[in-house]
Amino acid sequence: MLRQGRRKAYEAAVLQHYRAVYRFMAYLTRDTVLAEELTQETFASAWANIDSFKARSSFETWLHRIAYRKFIDSKRSRRRDAALMAGLEVQNDNAAKDVNPLHRLAADENTRLLYEAMRSLKQPEYIAILLHYIQGLSFRQVAKVLNQPVGTVKWQTSRALKTLKQYLSGRV
Amino acid sequence: MTQKREKKSKRITLKSLSAQLRSLPEVEVPETLKPRLLAAIPDTQAKPAPANQCRGYPAWDFGVTAAAAVLIFALMLLVNYGLSTPSKTVIMEFDSSLCCTTWNQNSFLYDQNNTYLEKSGSYQLK
């Protein structure tokens, strides 16, 4: 149905998945504006390539895969921009906190500590944890999104959990 | 105080940690996002993905390669067998290699009848 490019079917898919894609982007970018932009880009790209969706994986996995690629691309371009703007940019921590969608969530101490701990993780481990525990994808789905073997994903997740435990045990 | 801390740290298990990760509060989605996403869907049907077009290339490529191979083979056959010299010349060369002696060169050259070699007695063996 989706492959036929029907607008209504696609609208339903957007409504079903946009929260998950935005959440994924928010955790990846820690920036509401950028997360919103990348979510839009993800869905635009998904619509443009709807014919390439062969239902070998779920639509959710396919969307996450596109979203992850969008994030990687934006990270690359931001790195270039940052190099250009390095001399002009003035860091403002308060402004950064306002933009970060995760700061608003850290209402209690435990959640705040957990976010802190997650920030200490290496990127592949952070993304594995994010996709499996927060986005609720299975290890097989995570492996497809990241284009890695399932074993590697499981190993990264378990290592990330151990790191988190170590971090939190030292703080609590 | 330290004992209390130790007790707390012992409580953190991998299981409780994964449960805590699963129950993290939901990220607030901007209200403007949903209408923007829906408005961004064009009315026209989605174009076929470039990946599909790429899938056509190997078959097309194979056809061209096969055609080129057949053409080259045909050319080779044509060069080796199709463009061979006329039989008259072959006979002439063959006869000369057998050391045929003098013959009436003019009649040989200008006679277009293929049977002249057998009928004429204008040549002799050495």
Q: Using the predicted structure, report yes or no on whether residue A85 has a pLDDT greater than 70.
A: no
pLDDT band at A96 (very low <50, low <70, confident <90, very high): low
The predicted-structure confidence for B57-82, as pLDDT tens digits, reads as follows: 556 677 888 999 999 999 988 888 87
* Angle A24-A26-A31 from CA coordinates, rounded to 5°: 155
**Which residue of A5, A40, A136 is in closest CB contact with B46?**
A5
As a residue count, chain B comes to: 126
Which B-chain residues 91-120 have CB contacts (< 8 A) with chain A?
A: none
pLDDT band at A162 (very low <50, low <70, confident <90, very high): very high
Q: Using the predicted structure, report yes or no on whether residue B27 has a pLDDT greater than 70.
A: yes
Substitution target from B8, B17, B18, B22 for chain A, most A beta carbons within 10 A: B17
Mean pLDDT, residues A2-22: 82
Bigger pLDDT: B121 vs A146? A146
**Which residue of B14, B20, B49 is in closest CB contact with A114?**
B20
Average pLDDT of chain A, as a whole number: 84
pLDDT band at B119 (very low <50, low <70, confident <90, very high): very low
Return the pLDDT at B42: 74
Return the pLDDT at A144: 94
Mean pLDDT, residues A56-77: 91
b/e B33-42 (16+ beta carbons within 10 angstroms → b): beeebeeebe
CA distance B15 to chain A (A): 9
Question: Is the CB of B5 less than 8 angstroms away from the CB of A172?
Answer: yes
The predicted-structure confidence for A27-57, as pLDDT tens digits, reads as follows: 999 888 999 999 999 999 998 888 888 777 8
pLDDT band at B85 (very low <50, low <70, confident <90, very high): low
Which DSSP string corresponds to B39-71?
A: HTS-SSPPPPPHHHHHHHHHHHHHHHHHHHHHH
Distance CA A24, CA A30 (A): 10
Distances in Å between the Cα of B99 and the Cα atoms of A55, B94, B111, B115, B124 are: 82, 9, 21, 20, 9
Distance CA B60, CA A12 (A): 38
Distances in Å between the Cα of A40 and the Cα atoms of A35, A88, A120, B8, B15 are: 9, 28, 29, 43, 35
Average pLDDT of chain B, as a whole number: 67
Cβ proximity of A39 and A68 under 8 Å: no
Tokens of A2: 């989706």
In chain A, what residues touch B12 (CB-CB under 8 Å)? 165, 168-169, 172
3-state helix, strand, coil in chain A (%, to 5): 75, 0, 25
- B100 φ, ψ to 5°? -70, 140
Q: Within a 13 Å sphere around the CA of A46, how many CA atoms are in the beta-carbon half?
A: 30
Distance CA B82, CA B76 (A): 9
The predicted-structure confidence for B93-118, as pLDDT tens digits, reads as follows: 555 555 444 555 555 554 555 555 54
Mean pLDDT, residues B30-58: 68
In chain B, what residues touch A4 (CB-CB under 8 Å)? 45
A41-50, A75-84, A93-102: least confident range: A93-102
Dihedral in degrees, nearest 10, Cα atoms B113, B115, B117, B118? -160
